[in-house]
Chains A and B, each alone.
Chain A
Amino acid sequence: MLNLIFDAWKIARKDLTEFIRDKLRLVTFIIMPIFMMTLVGFIFPSQNSLKNIPIGVANEDTGQVGTTYVQMLKDFKTNGSNVFEVTDYSNLEAIKEGIREQKISGGLVTPSNLTSSLTANTQVAVTIVQDQSNPQISALTNQILQQTVAGFGQQIGAKKVAALLVKTEKVNPQLPLVTSPSPFAFIEPIKSTITGLVSGKTNYFDFVAPGIMAMVVMTAVLTGLAASVSRENEQGTLDGILVAPIRRLSIIIGKAIAQSVRGVFQGFIVLLLAVFLFGVTIHGSLLLVALVLALGIFSFVGLGILVSAAASEQETATQLLFMFQFPMLFLSGAFFPLQQMPKIMQDIAHVLPLTYAIEALRKIMILGGGISDVRNELIVLVVFGAVTLIIALPLFNRLVKR
């Protein structure tokens, strides 16, 4: 048993030495997660990350209210920077043209009777124009614009109700509607407040960081393991190891150790980036994160061996793996919530070990979950790893005994 571990360690050390000396591979290895995180940040904007969204405003109002509202839009800030970059347009058609030319990502038209309608106490509508070529941005823009319209409307409504209350009291002081009434009790009788499991706001990065981390680690192990075995087979060096009096299992363990070290290292690059560059807060225990990663790696070792046993050439192995990996990226919930997917896709997702690793990481990292919260996920990872290993080891032995 001790020899098995020693032999495995020798092979792991050799693999890692080779890896560290390959400068190009080392550089891509470090740059890859940085790349992925940054790109994902741009593709999926969060509300916090949106600044200076170019929009067009056509203020057709003949009175003063339109001007006040537009000024409010121009001054609207989150985290100290302007949300919108407002350009004035003459009318709805001009805004549509602006969107078509991709100069603006949306727009708003105030009607000519805005002020007069409000004075006359009738309801009035402003028009929000959306850019349908960009659903992500337009959904956010719509949401923010609607909020500003509603907020602005509420302020006006509150003033009117307050005035109304004063009048009622004057006309009939014996019958006050309520004691010390607030106008908001009439315009917005029920409010909602939001509370979470952890303090602070979460953004898309909080959601995606555990996903990318699990994905990077596990694909590194999966491809690394298969490529490393098939490369040695192709180059002939595997014969040099096989002809030595060591057990086949120590070869596999050694290779798995080397790949795991690489994978965990890469995973922590993602973690550091997430924390220091993208402001992700980790609420759970880092030790537990490491445990999930380790078991995630374990769940993939068998699959990696299976692939290297099936493909004797490195290129075939890489292609085979791509077939596994590509769907897994989308089905495991790394980038998109599983709940968004059709039922059948969700069922497939629940066969993939990556899904469980990511779920467990999210529970720990975002929600501050403990080991009892991720027990089921950990069990699935262990079982998946054990079953694939039981299938893979005899196949590997057969490969090397051709």
Chain B
Amino acid sequence: MENNQDNANIIEVKNLVKRFGKFTAIDDMSFNVKKGEIFGFLGPNGAGKSTAIRILTTLSLPTSGEAKVAGHDVVHGQDLLRRQIGLVAEKVILYNRLTADENLEFFGSLYHLPKKVVHERTEKWIHKLHMAEWRKKQVGTFSTGMKQRINIIRALLTEPEVLFLDEPTLGLDPQTTHVIRTFLRELNDQGVTIVLTTHDMNEAEALSDTVAIVDHGKIAALDTVENLKKLVPNVKDPTLEDVFLKITGEETRDIASGKIASGRRFGPH
């Protein structure tokens, strides 16, 4: 495998374009993600980050350009690629009327994992996420935070090389957020590459080794958090939010103050 040495790129994106009709969601995007890092994908809704994740996880086909994950092309190497990734999407991928265990067994079976293996792997993660006593309960009875924790275990069943997370802590209480962030860091220490999209600057700053700021379907900036902060020398103790404002300019002030949705165009979803 070409990506086995340290610092090799596990994700390579080259001149990626995705159009929905006349709307260009991703506009000639190129970037690489190194093996073993936590890669933060920042940007407002409609900036193209969710679309990029969908293409990298083979849920959407690019209009043009190239992308590879774990050495497999997103168009031609889909089957192999799918075995190397885990996805925690915007919406929780679990069935309410199945128990936590049944959900995990079902999704594991789609990768032809025997029940025994699914149980062993579940056992490995479930205690850290404080969900062990809920395994036999139907997911429909869970709170959002509990669902998300099982959802993350589901994404890890294949022991993926890359874990994609789209807004994993959105709408969760501080306790659950803390549990999940700690868990993701541990996971990363064990060598799992993590690609994370978020609106939450604190989350991006707390977790990411490298941050890409996306706007209008393009990468506006890409560097380590430390280096990005050097872009705002006139601010004392700068945060990632300061960098974000500096880079993406006036339009993003609306976004930073929370009025995200008003009047913006979104890609069809």
State the A residues within 8 Å of B (CB).
3, 7, 10, 14, 17-18, 21-22, 235-237, 239-246, 400-402
Contact = CB atoms under 8 A, between A and B. Distances in A.
B82 A22 contact: no
B79 A239 contact: no
A10 B268 CA distance: 31
Contact of B107 (A3, A7, A244, A401): A244
Nearest to B58: A243
Nearest to A244: B110
A7 B110 contact: yes
B92 A242 contact: no
Given A243-B82, A401-B60, A237 B111 contact: no
Contacts of A22: 97
A22 B106 CA distance: 18
Nearest to A246: B110
Contacts of A17: 97-98, 102
Given A243-B59, A244-B82, A402-B60, A237 B110 contact: no
A25 to B, nearest CB: 10
A282 B82 CA distance: 52
B110 A10 contact: yes
Contacts, number: 67
Tell which of B94, B109, B154 has the most Cβ of chain A within 10 Å. B109
A17 B79 CA distance: 28
B106 A243 contact: no
A240 B154 contact: yes
Contacts of B60: 401-402
Interface of B: 20, 57-61, 78-80, 82-83, 85, 87, 89-95, 97-98, 102, 106-107, 109-112, 138, 154, 268
Given A236-B92, A239-B89, A244-B107, 5 more contacts: A241-B110, A243-B57, A243-B58, A243-B82, A244-B110
B106 A10 contact: yes
A3 B79 CA distance: 14
A235 B82 contact: no
A401 B93 contact: no
A10 B109 contact: yes
Closest 3 CB pairs of A and B: A236-B91, A240-B93, A244-B110
A236 B154 CA distance: 14
Nearest to B267: A402
A254 to B, nearest CB: 10
B172 to A, nearest CB: 17
Contacts of A246: 110
Nearest to A21: B97
Contact of B94 (A10, A237, A244, A400): A237
Contacts of B107: 240, 244
Given A21-B138, A239-B93, A245 B85 contact: no
